[in-house]
Structures are given as C-alpha cells and as structure tokens.
Chains A and B, each alone.
Chain A
Amino acid sequence: MDDIPPYPPIDPTTFDLIVIGTGLPESIIAAAASTASKSVLHLDPNPFYGSHFSSLPLADLPSFLSSHSTSPSPPRSPSSDDPNEFSLLEFATRPLYSFIDISTFSPNLLDQHSRKFNLDVAGPRVLFCADKSIELLLRTGTNQYMEFKSVDATFVGDNKGNLWSVPDSRAAIFKDKSLGLVEKNKLMRFFKLVHGHLAGEQDVKISEEDLQSPFVDFLNKMGLPPKIKSFILYAIAMADYDQEDTGVCRDLLKTKDGIDQLALYNASIGRFQNASGAFLYPIYGQGELSQAFCRRAAVKGCLYVLRMPVTALLVDKDTGCYKGVRLASGQDIFSQKLILDPTFKVTLPLGSSPPLPLKEKLPFFSLKDDKGKIARGICITKTSLKPDISNFLVVYPPRSLFPEQVTSIRLLQIASNLAVCLPGMFVLYISALCNDDDQGKKLIHAVMNTLLTVPLDSESNAAVQSETAEIGSAVQDETSESSSGGPSDSGEEKPTLLWSALYSQELTLGQVDFICSTPMPDGKLNYNDLIDTTFKIFQEIYPEEEFFPETSLENPEVDGDASPET
C-alpha cells in the first residue's frame, strides 16, 4: 500500500451519512440512503469494491484474507485528545478469517493469468430467480449494471462421488433415473399438496398445527422416503443443520418455513425464459452485485472514495455522541450517521462505557458472533465434476460424507463462461457451517477428497496431504469399491486440483448499537437474510424513510433485463 497516491482532500466535509466498506449490505444502504436524498460518503480502504463480498483476482485473494486474519498494526497512541472539541476513538480491526491455507499445484499457469480470475470471497453463493435480491435489483433498476447466467442444476452428492440430480420439478421428476416409481409419485403428490396449499385451494390446506410443527416431522407424516426427505430438506429448502438430530440442529425448520422455501424454489424455476435452473450467477462473479449497488448510489449522488482507510472515530467531548471520522489522510469528515463494515470495531477507552445518550437513542440490535464459523474452500480444476454440464450446485446433506457431519456442505461449480476463470477451467466454491476451524477443515476436505484428485508433488502441500489422507481414508475405501455404481463418472478420472484456498470466516451479525455495523457474509446460499438485516439497519438509522420507494423506479421497462443473456 506504499504506492497509494497522496490523498486528495474531500469536499464537502459534512454528510448525512458516512458508509465505510463497500460490501453488499453497505452498498445497498448507501444506495437506499442516496435514493432517499441523503448526502452520502462511501469509503473503502481497499482499491476495489465489495469488501468481504468481493470477487478478487487469484493473486489478491490470499493477501486480502490474511490482511483480515490477525489484528494488524497496533493502534497508535490511544485516544489522544485533539486540541479541539472532539475526542478520538481509534478503530481496531477484527480478525475475520483464520486457518487460511493456500495450495498451488500449477504455479506457472495460474500466476501468469491471475487477473483472469474473479474469485468470490464469500462463495458459494447464488441468486434464486425469485428471491429478494432479484426483486431488489429489479425494483431499483440495478439490474441494468449486471448480467446473469443460469446455474443449470442441483445435485445431491454422496460419499462415493456420485452426484444425484435433484428432482425439483414435474419434468425433473419424470426424467429422474434414480427415483423409483413410488418415490416419484409420493414426491409429485407432495409438490402438488404444497402447490395447492400455496394457491389457497381449500381442500388441500395444510393445517395450522402441521405448519407449526417441524418440517421434518411433516415430511415423515407425508410418508416420504429418506432419500426424498433429504432432497427436500437440504437441496431445496437448503437447511443447514441435521434436521433429524435435535441435539445438534440449530436451525430446525418449521413446516411453514419449509413450505416458504419450496415456494421460493418453485417460483424460481422457469421465472426467466433462458434460465433453466432455479438459480442465477452474475457474470464476473458475486462482487459485481456490490459494485452495481454502488453505481446505483453514485447515480443518486453518493460520493465514492476508494483506497481510503479510516483511522478514528470523532466523538463529542461532552456528550460522547458520534460526530465524524478521521481519514488516513488526516482529514476529519463529519456526518449524522455512520455505517461500518464488520472489519472495524471501536475500542472504548478502558473503563468507559458507550456514551449513554446514544445507547438510549438506539435500541440494542442483535450482535452476537457466537454463531460459530463458516468454513470456505475455493478449488480450481481443469475438468468439470460432471460431463456436459458446467454450472451447477451440489449439496452434501448432513451425515452424507461421514457420520459426524452435522451440517450440509454446499459446492458450486462455475465455469469460465461466467468470466470467473481461464477458459476451460472451473472454480469450485465449497462451504459448511462449523463450530471451529478443525471441524470446518474436515468438512471441506471430505468433499475435496470425494470429488478431486489432489496431486502429491507439491511441497507446499505436504501438510494438507497428510491431513487429507487421514480424514479421507474412510471415504476413500468406499469410493474404490463402488466406483461402478450410480450415475457417477465411473471409469473417468476425478478432476485434478490445480489450486485451492481454504479458510474459516467469522459469522458476525449486523449491529445497531453505539455504532452501526453491517453483517459478514452468512452461511446461506443466497442473500435473503442479509437483505433483511440490511433493511432493518436502514430502518433503524432512517426510520422515517422508505427503503427504495416504488417511485424510484427510473425505467419501468427494464424488468426483462434481469433475465440472463442468451
């Protein structure tokens, strides 16, 4: 960061809102506030948009991750009072990533083309064709800055390396080769029941009692066999935790929520004519989404300054109220409100409590980062996991890879036609919720070992290998003996790993407290929960303003543009 040019002074120096960090929630808030005619300054210490939601070149990803892995530079002199009426609260950074493990098996090839890669920091992630992010994009016209392609299929994986397609529609059930006739009938009847329920048909109403009961109990009551239950719970409703083990399940789905998930999935299929599956993925990676909302904000007058670190918070000496921020350039900028990305935390002087007036003014809004962690992995290969199809999702339901697996593991394969990697290559994003780094690593490795060949000739990889071998041994045995069964690519080589990055990410939630913080990327597949939280934060800071009022629609004819290009 030595080559950063001298900071130009920012003018004006007073804003309604300062937003620090260009992650998706911050960008949406900046766009929403600008739309509500607030003057907004949007800063980011990074030279790129997206913060923890960005898509980065191959070489930049490791440095970004490690820059957030340990508390960097110790804060300078603690809260040295300025000669003016403010006291300074130093920003500290929170370590958000840990256990970063980068392995390169093909250094020359990848180094030369680092910029051809756009790797999502918060992968795997997709947009459901009918979810809140798509609605928001359409409603705000932000879709005009982006293009999407369809993620064509969803598979459920097993520990033998098979990928079973998920019968998620009438046509898919008909076509499916793995389901028996009885299973097909039961599944289709279940879909019809849900459809009838959602359409408000009187004779197929699901009772209130059932709606309040656990979804898994309802599926049992419907007599659905285990395989189908697993499809519905983990590959359609996208449950994270083992729904049949209440001891470990932290997100037991109610029938009502399960049905809502099915409705979302169902509405997503076929919503756009050239999207064959339920999901969309942005060309150039998920980072495009943050950038698109920033452009939307900029159109509405938001001022953008990248590569601009912020060093301290300015607080009124008497009241303790927030007044503004001090930039790395030394300039002080003032605003009514402040939104911080989750990287930053404010270290209060020892013994002092948050200024009372502010605390009373803003009700406590959940921030507890005890929700565990999420393990993420990015792998680059030269062959697709499945022939003839390049962009797809794979779900490994709890216990599908090894008995102690309590969370679903999701894998998203994205091909070069989405401009995320070199032509002919594939990027695999893997994630799983976990309690700690070791558990997370075990989950990601289990998937990698089932699906990929990890070359042994890399020195830097020795440590990974030994661990891999240990964890994967049980899995490996079964794989070898069953290589002939199922629709897997039996006889074909498993794709060889070229490069991988494994890391654990903290799951911090949004916070509206002494200061407002946005959440980290969550463990979900789409942005629904994040958008909800973002909306709540916006409402907290601007309770009187509408979140993108309908009238803000600039061009009502852009609707169709959200559909992926042909």
Chain B
Amino acid sequence: MHGRPRKAPKPEDEAASSAKAQKLRAVQTQFFSFHHNKIYTKEAVELSAKLLEINPESYTAWNYRKLAVEHYLNLPDCNPDSIKSVLDDELRVVENALRQNFKSYGAWHHRKWVLSKGHSSIDNELRLLDKFQKADSRNFHAWNYRRYVAESMKRSEQDELKYTEDMIYTNFSNYSAWHNRSILLSALFEKKAGGFLLKEKVLPEEYEFIHQAIFTDPDDQSGWFYHLWLLDQTVTTDSPLLASSWPGHGSDVLLVGDRCYNGSAFSPFSALHSDSGSFPIVLYFNQPVGGVNSSTVTVECGFNKNEDLFWKPLSASNSQTARVWVAHLKVPSSDLHSTVEVSVGHSKGIISTRGFVYSHPSMFSFKVHVQPMERDSSQVSVAENISLREENFKVYGTQSEESIIDSFDQLIIKNGHETTASNWRFEALAKEIECFRELLSLVDCKIGKLTLARLLKAYDAMSYPFANKLVHSEEVLELYSDLMKLDPTHYQFYKDEHSIVLLQKVTSSKESLLQHCFQYKDSASSAICDPICLRLNNLSLSRMGAFEKLLWVQMLDLSHNELQSIEGLEAMQLLSCLSLRNNKLRSLTALEPLRKLKSLRILDISYNQIGNQSIDTTRYVCSSPLSHSVGSELNRDETVTSDVALINNWEAFFIFKDFNLNQLDIVGNTIADEKFKSVLVKIMPKLKQLDGKLLD
C-alpha cells in the first residue's frame, strides 16, 4: 500500500481507462435523469449502485441514495423488515465501493450516515474494520471510522487502547495508530479531569513504550510525533497560569505627561510617558486563554470603575483567545498617588483553548503616581527627534541597579502551588533527558538532537521560577547550531528556535539583561532623565521571543538581525520607539503586530526587504488565511472615499492607518519609492518625520 513508485501509464492502461470513462459516461447520464426526476424505482437505485461500484467518488450518487433511502423509509407500508433490507443494501453498496477504493471519502461518509439510522450491528462494523485495517494498517479513513464506531457502540477507551497497542506491536511505523493512542489517552485524561494522578502514572509508561520504538529505529518518524505529544502533555500544565504582568507586583509606576520627568527616586524602568490619558495593564498567560473580562479580572483603584475596563485579547488572529490581554486605565489629570489591586481568576471564567479552567487565583498590586503635564504637549512633540544611533547610547550605569532588581523580579509571577504537583513532570523530563543523551551517544541523529534540545529547554523553563537561571541554555544553543549545519533543509526552523532560546537566556537574569540596557542620550535632547533602551541588535535573531520578560520595554533596538517576523511583539504594549533597521522583513503584513501597539511613535524599518517579492508569503505562513486580520475589517466606504492611490496600496493602508507614528524610517526597502512615501504621508497625517526629513 505504501512506498510504491508512481509509474507512467502504459498505452493499454490508458485505453482501459478511456473505455471505463465511456462506460461511466453512459451510466452517469442515465443516473442523472433518474436523479433529477426523483425516480427511486428498484432499477434506478440499482443503477446508482452500479455507478458507485465503478466510481466510488461520485458524491451525487451517494446523495441520491440517501434520498432514495429516505423515500423508502417514508413509504406507508414500511415495516422493520423492509427497513432492514433497505439499509442492508446500503451497507453492501458501501462495502463494494470500498473494495474498489478503500480511501473513498464518499463511501466512508455514507456508511456513517447509514449507521446513524440506527441500523447494522456494530460488531459487524468492527469485523469489517479489522479486515480493512489488516489490509492496510495505516489507512486513516479506517481509523477515523473506527473512532466513530467505537464511540457509537460505547466501546471503552481501554479496549481501543489495547487495539492500538496490538497494531503498534505488529508494526510500529504507524502514524495512525500512534495518533489514535494520543486521542484515546486525551479522552481518558479528560474524563478524570483535575486528577493529576492519572497523567502521572500513564505518561511515564507511555514514554517507556515509545522509547522502544525510538531506540529500535531512530530513523522512523512515526514514533517521534507521539513523543512530541507526550512531551507536550508533560510540559503543559492543564490549567492556565498567569506568567507575568505589567505593572509588576509591588512596583511603582510614574506616569508623566511628557517624556521628561523629575524625581530620581523612580526607576526609568517604571516611568511611563502617557499622552493618551491612559495606561495599560497587561496580563501575560502561559497559554492562550479566553474569558478575560471585568468579572474574571477585577481591578480595584480609586480612579477607575472596574466595570468600565475593557479587556482585549492581543493576537495575530481575530480570535477571542490570546496569551496576552490588555486593558487601559484612564489617568486622572490631577496629582495622584494611588494603589491598584488586580485580582485574576477569583471567579471562574478564564478558560484555556484546550478547555481547562484557570484555577489558581492570583493577585498583584502596584502604586501609581501621576505627574500632570507641565509643558505644552505640542511644543514637546516638535522637539522630539529620536535617532537610535550608536553615539546616542551609553551603557546603563549601576547607579540605580537596586530599582532594576526590583522591577526585574516583580515581572515574574511565582506559582508556588504548582511545585508539589509538578514533581513528576521534573522526574519525567530528567529521565527523558538522560535517555536521549544515551541515544545520542549511540547514534548521531538529527531528531535525537532536536528532542534533547526541546527537553532541556522545557526542563529549564520548568525549573526557572525556582532556580532563576537557565542551566542548559548554552547546550541548547549548541544543539541548534549543530542542527543548522546538519540539516540545512530546516535551517530556518532551527534558527528560530535558536533565537528564542538566546532571548530567554538574555532575559533570564538581571545581569545578562543589564548588559543589553542602554541609556539613550541625545545630544540635542534637553531631557533631564534619559530613557532606557533595550538593545538586542546584532544577535542574528530570526524571531522574537521571551515577551513575558519584556513587557516593561519602551524603547527597543532590534536592528541588524535576521528577523522575518515579529510575531508576538504586540505583547509589548509600552513600546514607543522601535528599530527594526537592517532585518529581513519581507512584507508590510509582517508589521501586523505593530498595529496593536498604541503608544508606538517612532518606528525604523529601514533596510529590510519589503516589496522584494510581489507575492506576500506571510499570508501562507499564518495559521489560517481566513483568520488573518489584515483587510478583514475592510470598510468599503472608507476605501471608496480615499484617494485612488490608497486603493492601489490597500495593504499599506490597512497596516498604517491605525499607527500613531511621529517618526518613520523606511528607506532601503524596494517598496519605498517616492510615490509610496507620498501615500504613507496621506495615510498617516500625524507623521512628522519620514526618513529623517521633517514633514510640513
């Protein structure tokens, strides 16, 4: 069934198939006339059976038979015997069709439909399935149907689990069998939901089982998928957790009306310029969740009503689930020193995409100090001219290290209640790591390296809240570097993983993070206190990550990397100044995450590859083109009333229309010709500076 090379048809084959087509055409014409005239005589129904025997893929014929069955079942003289004979006929026709092509979607579907009529002994179906699965043990149609039958006859998951085990013992190169196993186990886990004990017992046994396959034949991929599923089951806690927030617990936030502020008691890490009269509260969960709203999250403060808060998911798609949720608190215009308390999940309602309820209520509080505007805002804006050039940075001094320690630690939310429950996870991971080190000592295999890297990364992530360091990051980085050389076909994937691990390493400790923090000091600026810029430039990053540690960042330098995507950057709600200079961004749609950054004022996307390709491939990379939001809020009136040039540049229009930029650098991209620049100016009337030139 598998691994048979495709052969060019011989002339006699072609002759045979055209003869078949001839025959088929004749039958089909006749069939359609019966169908259109709603003729359900014995002769007509038999003709459809004949047609399906020749061509089991004829959906119309299957539908016709469904109508015919309904017709017979609604006859006045219908009795149990006649029903039985009608449905038995259907089962026979399906069986014949499947004999012709056991991968016929229509035939399998029709069988399900017949079964749903409450007929056929299910044992009989299982017998039939055994035959099909013996002929081709990997036929996923048969496996799908098996799940349907097992469910309708209420066969226990344990029995089916035993069946997959037998199939796997016969030949473990069987994706379908392993897949079915993961489905059955998931169902079992769910039935005992809340019982960690079951997973704790089952997963180590399953690891043991899959090891037999992996060690016996490390080149066989079917086992690897199952291992990946097990790893996911081990690592992911059922119940979602709050990973970090901004502002952090116990922090002091200073809100100022303009970019200059007084009072050195405040760390530049927690001082925030706000010209929109509000500031965000960001919740970062460890997995996508839904149901975050003013009833599941309560914010107690003196200047806002909890009910007025609107929590918004931040994700690339328009779905109502996301890892990151944001709400904006309105800032009163008067002087204020107030404490804000945020309680998450004290009333149920936050649910992960897998259906698990957020069950670890947590609370954090911070102080807000408001410094009202001292100067005319328009005046400030004109003077503003941020240029992220080397000479404008100086290493962030140690003078206020204390404050950064605080703010750094405040970012992490410790979930102490998870520790006891997670012991088996640690043990399982430690055992897997040992196991894969052993495998790699025997054979040098790519998938072994990749799995070890994943395991070490997961182990680090799990132990991080307690150890506060990533002990294996060097090793993981080395593994990914190896893989890039060993397996150039998947270079980009390894590169992305490498980037994320590197970012996690950089953000894992205060010391390493400080090495990337610089004070921005513009010689022209008259500011008293200089803002902090996180510089992650020249790290050859191809992806961004570690956002949960970077929620505080207002100024980010990602220049001179290899970024093709900035997915996830929408989490950095405080970002006001971003440099993506000299990267590999290929399209305007790649900038999509920036649309959600309401405080972004200064953006440098110069010297990328935007416009190099006429076809925007990011559209195909997105999880589903249908869920992609660009253009989905298309407002016809708006488009129609706009300039003709905008219609030709609708992509630019939808990306940039929501931007609040003061300053944009786009030079060095194929797309950025003068015409395009003039369009940009039209889209963003607030833009003050384009490619270093002041606009009128």
Residues of A whose CB lies within 8 Å of any CB of B are 170-171, 173-176, 181-182, 184-186, 188-189
Picked from A171, A176, A186, the residue with its CB within 8 Å of the CB of B172 is A171
Chain B residues lying within 8 Å of A185, measured Cβ to Cβ, are 215-216, 218, 439, 442-443
Chain B residues lying within 8 Å of A184, measured Cβ to Cβ, are 212, 215-216
Query: Lowest 10 CB-CB distances: which A-B pairs, in order?
Result: A181-B215, A185-B215, A174-B216, A184-B215, A173-B216, A184-B216, A188-B216, A174-B172, A185-B442, A174-B212
B424-456, CB under 8 A of A: which get 1 and which 0?
A: 000000000001001100110000000000000
Q: Using known A-B contacts A170-B216, A174-B213, determine if residue A186 contacts B442 with beta carbons closer than 8 Å.
A: yes
Measured CB to CB, the closest approach of chain A to B435, in angstroms, equals 7
Closest to B173 in A: A170
B203-221, CB under 8 A of A: which get 1 and which 0?
A: 0000000011101111000
> For the complex, is B613 an interface residue (Cβ under 8 Å from A)?
no
Chain A residues lying within 8 Å of B216, measured Cβ to Cβ, are 170, 173-174, 184-185, 188
Determine whether the beta carbon of A188 is less than 8 Å from that of B171: no
Closest to A223 in B: B442
Instruction: For the complex, give the distance between the alpha carbons of A181 and B212 in Å.
Output: 6
> For the complex, is B225 an interface residue (Cβ under 8 Å from A)?
no
Measured CB to CB, the closest approach of chain A to B451, in angstroms, equals 14
Instruction: For the complex, give the distance between the alpha carbons of A189 and B443 in Å.
Output: 9
Determine whether the beta carbon of B171 is less than 8 Å from that of A171: yes
Closest to B220 in A: A170
Residues of B whose CB lies within 8 Å of any CB of A are 169-172, 211-213, 215-218, 435, 438-439, 442-443
Chain A residues lying within 8 Å of B443, measured Cβ to Cβ, are 185, 189
Instruction: For the complex, give the distance between the alpha carbons of A378 and B283 in Å.
Output: 79
Q: Please name 27 pairs of A and B residues whose Cβ atoms are closer than 8 Å in the assembled complex, sorted by A.
A: A170-B172, A170-B216, A170-B217, A171-B169, A171-B170, A174-B212, A174-B213, A174-B217, A175-B169, A175-B212, A181-B211, A181-B435, A181-B438, A181-B439, A182-B215, A182-B442, A184-B212, A184-B215, A184-B216, A185-B215, A185-B216, A185-B218, A185-B439, A185-B442, A185-B443, A188-B216, A189-B443
Measured CB to CB, the closest approach of chain B to A478, in angstroms, equals 30
Measured CB to CB, the closest approach of chain B to A472, in angstroms, equals 36
Picked from A170, A175, A182, A189, the residue with its CB within 8 Å of the CB of B438 is A182
Closest to B441 in A: A182
Closest to A173 in B: B216
Determine whether the beta carbon of B169 is less than 8 Å from that of A174: yes
Measured CB to CB, the closest approach of chain B to A323, in angstroms, equals 63
Instruction: For the complex, give the distance between the alpha carbons of A405 and B219 in Å.
Output: 40
Measured CB to CB, the closest approach of chain A to B490, in angstroms, equals 23
Known: A171-B170, A174-B213. 5 other contacts (CB 8 A): A171-B172, A181-B211, A181-B435, A185-B442, A189-B442
Measured CB to CB, the closest approach of chain B to A270, in angstroms, equals 11
Measured CB to CB, the closest approach of chain B to A165, in angstroms, equals 12
Measured CB to CB, the closest approach of chain B to A225, in angstroms, equals 12
Instruction: For the complex, give the distance between the alpha carbons of A184 and B435 in Å.
Output: 13
Instruction: For the complex, give the distance between the alpha carbons of A175 and B216 in Å.
Output: 10
Measured CB to CB, the closest approach of chain A to B222, in angstroms, equals 12
Closest to B219 in A: A192
Chain B residues lying within 8 Å of A182, measured Cβ to Cβ, are 215, 438, 442
Instruction: For the complex, give the distance between the alpha carbons of A506 and B213 in Å.
Output: 47
Closest to B172 in A: A174
Chain B residues lying within 8 Å of A176, measured Cβ to Cβ, are 212
Instruction: For the complex, give the distance between the alpha carbons of A182 and B170 in Å.
Output: 21
Measured CB to CB, the closest approach of chain B to A168, in angstroms, equals 13
Measured CB to CB, the closest approach of chain A to B135, in angstroms, equals 12
Instruction: For the complex, give the distance between the alpha carbons of A170 and B171 in Å.
Output: 8
Instruction: For the complex, give the distance between the alpha carbons of A189 and B220 in Å.
Output: 13
Closest to B439 in A: A185
Measured CB to CB, the closest approach of chain B to A81, in angstroms, equals 72
Q: Which of A173, A175, A185 has the most CB of B within 10 A?
A: A185
Closest to B435 in A: A181
Chain A residues lying within 8 Å of B172, measured Cβ to Cβ, are 170-171, 174
Determine whether the beta carbon of A188 is less than 8 Å from that of B211: no
Closest to A176 in B: B212
Chain B residues lying within 8 Å of A175, measured Cβ to Cβ, are 169, 212
Measured CB to CB, the closest approach of chain A to B130, in angstroms, equals 15
Closest to B214 in A: A181
Instruction: For the complex, give the distance between the alpha carbons of A60 and B309 in Å.
Output: 100
Chain B residues lying within 8 Å of A174, measured Cβ to Cβ, are 169, 172, 212-213, 216-217
Measured CB to CB, the closest approach of chain A to B538, in angstroms, equals 41
Instruction: For the complex, give the distance between the alpha carbons of A189 and B217 in Å.
Output: 8
Instruction: For the complex, give the distance between the alpha carbons of A184 and B439 in Å.
Output: 11
Measured CB to CB, the closest approach of chain A to B170, in angstroms, equals 6
Closest to A180 in B: B215
Closest to B209 in A: A174
Chain A residues lying within 8 Å of B217, measured Cβ to Cβ, are 170, 174, 188
Instruction: For the complex, give the distance between the alpha carbons of A531 and B682 in Å.
Output: 94
Chain B residues lying within 8 Å of A189, measured Cβ to Cβ, are 442-443
Instruction: For the complex, give the distance between the alpha carbons of A176 and B172 in Å.
Output: 13
